[in-house]
């Protein structure tokens, strides 16, 4: 019986020691906070007074500004400029379909096939309706697979190189009508 009582006494002492360790604090503020808040030091703590860590008033905060270089492009050595938004393949499709200055039979679509790689087909070969409404034997592709559009032999819109001569949304010097007349003059 004595061994059992000693074990119970030791268990009680150990549990008291554990509870004392959990209640102790390394700081003098008595609020149970232990460490200095690293986010506070960077000026980024979003908890403020409710933070579990210390916010000492005598420590200066370092405020860091974030820059996003992946959304910017170097124009000059010292000046950062955001890239212009490129018109989508759907915009080009709609312009070819509905603009009276464009003859759809002269346009070629370059697209990525899942099995055969990069393929070119005439613009009129495709059905440009919603893919959900089409039958399995109809030639149609999702717009995200379109890589470029050609007018006869020259690419006028290309995803990879961000070339947009159809709308000029990426800052091209030529208008699509100028490009078309130049290509027509070269071929005649």
Residue 123 within a domain = yes
Structural domain contains residue 109: yes
In a domain, 53, yes or no: no
85-139 pLDDT tens trace: 889 999 999 999 999 989 999 999 999 999 999 999 999 988 877 777 767 777 7
Domain of residue 145: give its range: 89-187
155: number of Cβ within 10 Å = 15
CB 172 within 8 A of CB 182: no
Let me know if residue 96 belongs to a domain: yes
- The residue that leads in pLDDT, 44 or 32, is 44
Q: What is the domain count for the chain?
A: 1
**How would you write 29-63 as a 3-class SS string?**
CCCCCCCECHHHHHCCCCCHHHCCCECCCCCCCCC
**C-alpha to C-alpha distance for 162 and 148, rounded to whole angstroms:** 10
Residue 128 located in a structural domain: yes
Give the pLDDT confidence of 56-92 residue by residue, as tens digits.
888 776 654 455 555 455 555 556 677 778 899 999 9
Please compute the mean of the pLDDT values over residues 20-34 and round it to a whole number. Answer: 47
pLDDT score at 26: 43
pLDDT at 62: 60
CA–CA gap between residue 92 and residue 94 (Å, rounded): 5
How high is the pLDDT of residue 88? Answer: 92
pLDDT attached to residue 91: 93
11 is a domain residue = no
Is 41 within the bounds of a domain? no
Q: How confident is the model at residue 14 (pLDDT cuts 50, 70, 90)?
A: very low
Whether 173 is covered by a domain: the verdict is yes
- Residue 10 reports pLDDT greater than 70: no
Query: Can you tell me the distance from the alpha carbon of 140 to that of 151, in angstroms, rounded to the nearest whole number?
Result: 20
User: CA-CA distance, 173 to 165, in Å (whole number)?
Assistant: 8
pLDDT at 176 over 70: yes
Q: Report whether pLDDT(186) > 70.
A: yes
Q: What is the largest CA-CA distance in the chain?
A: 113
């Amino acid at each position: 019986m004595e061994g059992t009582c000693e074990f119970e006494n030791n268990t009680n002492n150990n549990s008291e020691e554990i509870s004392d360790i959990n209640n102790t604090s390394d700081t003098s503020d008595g609020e149970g906070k232990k460490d200095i808040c690293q986010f506070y030091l960077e000026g980024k703590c979003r908890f403020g007074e409710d933070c579990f860590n210390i916010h000492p008033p005598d420590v200066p905060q370092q405020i860091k500004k974030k820059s996003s270089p992946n959304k910017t492009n170097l124009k000059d050595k010292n000046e950062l400029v955001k890239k212009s938004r490129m018109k989508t393949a759907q915009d080009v499709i709609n312009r070819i379909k509905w603009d009276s200055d464009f003859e759809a039979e002269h346009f070629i679509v370059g697209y990525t096939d899942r099995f055969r790689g990069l393929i070119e087909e005439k613009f009129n070969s495709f059905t440009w309706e919603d893919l959900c409404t089409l039958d399995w034997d109809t030639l149609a592709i999702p717009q995200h697979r379109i890589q470029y559009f050609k007018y006869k032999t020259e690419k006028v819109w290309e995803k990879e190189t961000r070339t947009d001569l159809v709308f000029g949304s990426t800052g091209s010097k030529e208008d699509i009508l100028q490009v078309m007349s130049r290509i027509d003059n070269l071929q005649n």
